[in-house]
A and B are shown apart, each in its own frame.
Chain A
Amino acid sequence: MDKALIPDGVKRCPLPLFGLWLLVLLAIIGWGVYAGLSVLIQGLNITGLNNYFGFGLYICADLAIIALGAGAFFSGFLYYGMSRFFPVLKEELQKIINLAVIVGFCCYTGALAVLLLEIGQPIRGWFGYWHANVHSMLTEVIFCISCYAIVLVIEYLPIVLENRKLDAIRGVHFFGHSLHEAMAIFALTGTFLSFFHQGSLGGVPGVMFGRPFAFRTGFFVWPWTFFLFTLSAIACGPSFTALICKAVEGVTRKRLVDRSVYELIAKISGTALLIYFVLKCADTLYWALDTAPGFGLKLSDFYQEPYGMWLLVAELGVGGLLPVILLLTPNLGTSNGLLFLGFFLNCFGICVNRFAMTVEAIAIPVMPFDRWAFYTPTWAEWAPVIAMLAYGTLIISLSYRYLPVFPQEKKLNVR
């Protein structure tokens, strides 16, 4: 029934089966929309947030999903920028760049929707542009996230216009082709914006000089977390794109990209993660041995169950050192299981970091006579976050079915 829309020479599942899949996703999205509307109508009192936990699951999920979506900006930077010096990047990344852009688009637009729920007065969201406080890292976030989301829409558009039916229209074909020609400019603009955006998300906790767990010294106006967040996003973004690609391969039972693409991503992600890991360890040591003692606190003061020391081990050990070994040890890379475990743990470590810097950071009582606080998200927080993932899955499903996302698909699946 929808054959005319499916790219030439590739096979897709029957429409009823695809329709059923879409219904499942739409049901989850509907649940998230219902929760979102409930929050907008009834207020944030139906969440688990309180005066001690001003930040919770929404902001944590936003930070994590935006870091995971960084594959778009970094792959674009490598593909359009660095490939001039390393041609192999162009050759390999063109096989997955479309997916990286789509994943980035889903992550950023989804995060923007959840961000709307996060603020108590969503109708005043535009005040961020109008009454901007140039000293606030959140102002930088607001500007960069909206600008980069626009860039991602522009980057996604030519992929949409490659749909067989749309491409048959002469004007659309010409417009799409012209966009492709100009894409390097958008990709590099996106790189610039995303660098600041990822960094300013790191700056949000890093500048809170009244919160010793989060506060970091830094360079000029930027705390070290600014640079660490950017670097960690560079490390996990391509890994997340590879994981999504593998998931699509698993669901469709097809090979969509060469293994050499995964191996290249493992090297890039692994190297970035290694640099991040070394710097993060240095940052943690400096914070634990210099910054925190300056505030009269020691490392163990920051960890108490359920936010115990295990979080630091999970972040730096399981989600840091282990994926570095898995991604950069050549012999281990030959095993598919270990390679993708490395990608997964890389993403896991960054998510734990985002949790630590948003939720754990504010659980610690700063006044000595105050008490620890604990936070449990409610359904009204889980539902929009899960719906955001379902929304991403929906966009990727539709894109895979109707757009030529993987240039190698035909070649790799000849029967």
Chain B
Amino acid sequence: MSSGTENGSHGGHLHYGMVIDLDKCTGCGACSVACQEENNISFRADESDKLRGISWLTLYRLENGKEYPAYRAISLPRPCMHCSGGHDSPCTYVCPVNATKRDPETGLVNHIPVRCIGCRYCMVACPYHARSFNWWDPVWPDPLTKMLTPEVSPRMRGVIEKCTFCGHRLNRARDQARVAGEDPKMVAYTPACVEACPTKAMVFGNLKDPQSEAAKLAKDPRAFQILAKLNTDPSVYYLSKEQWVHKLSDNDL
């Protein structure tokens, strides 16, 4: 298995990443709801067309394909993988207008909606389907308009959006570090999804800090990345003791 802490193409001592313990995940969806609320993700009255909706953190249901009593199923939360492979990320490599870039200082793949021209090349290039297109103008029914997060700009129709690992929370943590006279570059923060997880199945931290819990868990024998064979080197690791889950994490001849 490739490791973001070893093979990532960026230097420095910071690489934010996430570890999700699938054995602990109950599939409650709190992470996804918290993400939706925190990041001002718009929704429509009729969300039945799942291929047109906007989701930064999608829950997939994985099944082992066996009959009861051998039947097993788990939920797999999928945020943006914030890939850091040798080619850069699949999405940042193709964007014609530099609207999405990987920050070599943090390992975060950001997206600038006001620069995005909506060509959807990044969405097509992403094997994880982590990017959504704004097919409609974002509209929130009252009183939700008064409950939007002020630090996150809503996205307009015709542009792509995706998980930022709550980049605004990173900025907030940096501001607080500056006020406290600390080094703003090495701050720790928690994305909304991790904060909302009731079973503590999600852990976020610096994968390059050997003392961080995230870095330790990323080296756990149960750890794996999704589609590791593509060499995208995701910053999101999953944990599971189930071999059938490991097998479903990648294509295998």
Q: Which positions in A face B, CB cutoff 8 Å?
A: 43-45, 49-55, 118-121, 124-125, 127-128, 130-133, 135-139, 141-142, 204, 207-212, 293-298, 301, 362, 366-370, 373
Contact = CB atoms under 8 A, between A and B. Distances in A.
B119 A119 contact: yes
A370 to B, nearest CB: 7
A388 B133 CA distance: 26
A51 B52 contact: yes
A128 B96 contact: yes
Given A43-B157, A51-B51, A208-B124, A131 B97 contact: yes
B25 to A, nearest CB: 14
Which residue of B52, B88, B127, B232 has the most chain A CB atoms within 10 A of its CB atom?
A: B127
A128 B97 contact: yes
A148 to B, nearest CB: 17
Contacts of B53: 51
Given A51-B133, A204-B94, A298-B253, 19 more contacts: A43-B157, A44-B135, A49-B120, A51-B52, A120-B118, A120-B158, A120-B160, A121-B156, A124-B97, A127-B115, A130-B97, A133-B96, A135-B94, A208-B90, A295-B251, A296-B229, A296-B253, A366-B251, A368-B249
Contacts of A208: 90, 94, 124-125
A135 B252 CA distance: 31
A369 B62 contact: yes
Contacts of B51: 50-53, 373
Interface in B57-105: 60, 62, 76, 83, 85, 87-88, 90, 93-99
Contact of A131 (B62, B98, B137): B98
Contacts of A43: 135-137, 157-158
Nearest to B252: A296
Contact of A51 (B93, B131, B156, B248): B131
Contacts of A120: 116-120, 133-134, 157-160
Interface residue SS majority, chain A:
loop
Contact of B127 (A118, A296, A367): A367
Which residue of A51, A125, A131 has the most chain B CB atoms within 10 A of its CB atom?
A: A51
A44 B49 CA distance: 15
B230 interface: yes
A367 B51 CA distance: 16
A43 B135 CA distance: 7
B250 interface: yes
Interface of B: 49, 51-53, 60, 62, 76, 83, 85, 87-88, 90, 93-99, 115-121, 123-129, 131-137, 156-160, 226-227, 229-232, 248-253
A98 to B, nearest CB: 34
Which residue of A44, A54, A142, A204 has the most chain B CB atoms within 10 A of its CB atom?
A: A54
Given A135-B93, A210-B125, A367 B253 contact: no
B49 A370 contact: no
B90 A210 contact: yes
Contacts of B90: 208-211
B251 A44 contact: no
21 contacts: A44-B158, A51-B53, A51-B123, A55-B120, A119-B158, A120-B157, A124-B116, A124-B118, A128-B96, A132-B97, A139-B96, A142-B96, A204-B94, A207-B93, A208-B124, A209-B85, A295-B230, A296-B229, A296-B252, A366-B127, A368-B249
A91 B137 CA distance: 58
A343 B109 CA distance: 47
A302 to B, nearest CB: 11
A197 to B, nearest CB: 14
Contacts of B229: 294-296
A45 B46 CA distance: 14
A91 to B, nearest CB: 43
Contacts of B156: 121
A209 B230 CA distance: 7
A133 B101 CA distance: 10
B95 A133 contact: yes
A122 to B, nearest CB: 8
Nearest to B226: A367
Given A51-B132, A209-B231, A297 B253 contact: yes
B119 A362 contact: no
A135 B120 CA distance: 16
A207 to B, nearest CB: 7
A218 to B, nearest CB: 13
B96 A132 contact: yes
A54 B121 contact: yes
Contacts of B99: 127, 131
A121 B118 contact: yes
